[in-house]
Structure 1
Amino acid sequence: MMKMTPQRMAIMGFLEGNRSHPSAEDVFASVSRRFPFMSLATVYNTLERLSKDGKLLELSIDPGRKRYDPDTRPHHHIICTSCGKVADIHHEFDLEVPEGNNSGFSIRSNHVEFYGLCPECKIEEGGA
C-alpha cells in the first residue's frame, strides 16, 4: 500500500472527479502551487503507482505524453483532432474479434477511440 503523504493526497484530490484527462505535467502544474517543493518525479511515481493499483487509467492517446483518467469503469474516448481535448463515452459497443482472427490471444478488454472536432473547435473552424 502506498504511504499517504500530503503531496500524494493532493495529487489524488486533484484527480478525483477530474474529467480533463490530465497529463503528469498538468497534475504537477496544479498541485505544485500548494507544494512548491514537490518534484515532477513525485507526480510521475504517484500516477504510476495509482495506475498499477487499478485506481487510475493510463491513456496513450496523446503521442507526446501519457494522460490519466480517474474513471476506471469500462468506457471509451473521443479526442479532438484540433485541440487535443478528451471526453469520455459511456456507451457499450458490441465488439468481437472474428473467430480465427485473434492470433491465439485471449481477449480481456477493448478500448475504442473516436476522433473529431470538439464543439469549441468546430465553431472556430466555422462549422455548425
Structure 2
Amino acid sequence: MEKLRGLGLKLTPQRIAIMQYLDGNTDHPTADVIHKSLTKKYPTMSMATVYNTLDILTNRGCVRELTIEPQKKRFDPNTTHHHHLICLVCKKIVDVHRVENVHLPPEEQGDFEIIGHHIEFYGMCKPCKEENGGETVKQTGQPKELRKEIP
C-alpha cells in the first residue's frame, strides 16, 4: 500500500481493496468485475467508489485504461511498456511484452515527437477457435456465434 501512500491518497479500506485486487492481476478487469468481486467483502462499496478510485489511479499512472469495447473500459495494473492480444469472441486480453521491428517511417511521423505507442492484435484464442470447429475469424469472416443463421 506504499503505492497509495506515495500518491498522497487517503488509505480507505475500499481503496486498499481495489489496489490489492489489481496488484498482479492480468485479467484486465472492468470496473463492474472489480465491484462484483469486492462487494462480497465490502457490501457497502459503491460503483462510484470503484470508478472514482480507478479514475485517480489512471490519472496518477498506476493503472492503464484500455478501451477495447467502447461501453466496457478495462483496467491494466501493468503500466510497463507492453501490448495486447485480444480475442474477438470471448474478449480475453493477453499481455505481449515483446514485439519486434515496430517503427514509424520518418515520412509518416511528420512533425510529431513520438513519446509512446500501444499495439493491439485481434484474433481468436485457442479455446474459441476449437469451439468454432477450428475455423478462424479470418476464414469465416466472423466467429460462429456471431454469424446469423439463414433460414
Give the TM-score range, shorter chain: over 0.9
- The question of 1:60 aligning with 2:67 is answered yes
Deviation of 1:60 (Å): 1.3
Q: 2:47 aligns with which of 40, 52, 63?
A: 40
- Structure number with the higher helix fraction is 2
Counterpart CA distance in 1 for 2:122 and 2:104 is 22
**Structure having greater relative contact order (Cα 8 Å, sep ≥ 6):** 1
Q: 1:22 aligns with which of 25, 29, 43?
A: 29
Deviation of 1:41 (Å): 0.5
Q: Deviations over 1:75-100 (max 9, x none)?
A: 00000001111000110433222213
- The question of 1:112 aligning with 2:119 is answered yes
Which residue matches 2:9? 2
Letter in 1 for 2:66: L
Which residue matches 2:79? 72
Q: Deviations over 1:88-124 (max 9, x none)?
A: 0110433222213234221100111001111211110
Secondary structure at the residue paired with 1:50? helix
> How many residues are paired up?
128
- The question of 1:97 aligning with 2:78 is answered no
Counterpart CA distance in 1 for 2:100 and 2:53 is 32
Unmatched 5+ stretches in structure 2: 1-7, 136-151
TM-score, with normalisation over the residues of structure 2?
A: 0.80
Q: Deviations over 1:50-84 (max 9, x none)?
A: 11111111111222211000111100000000111
Secondary structure at the residue paired with 1:101? helix
Which residue matches 2:130? 123
Fraction of identical pairs, as percent: 46
Counterpart CA distance in 2 for 1:40 and 1:106 is 38
Secondary structure at the residue paired with 2:56? helix
Counterpart CA distance in 2 for 1:53 and 1:93 is 29
CA RMSD in angstroms comes to 1.3
Larger Cα Rg: Structure 1 or Structure 2? 2
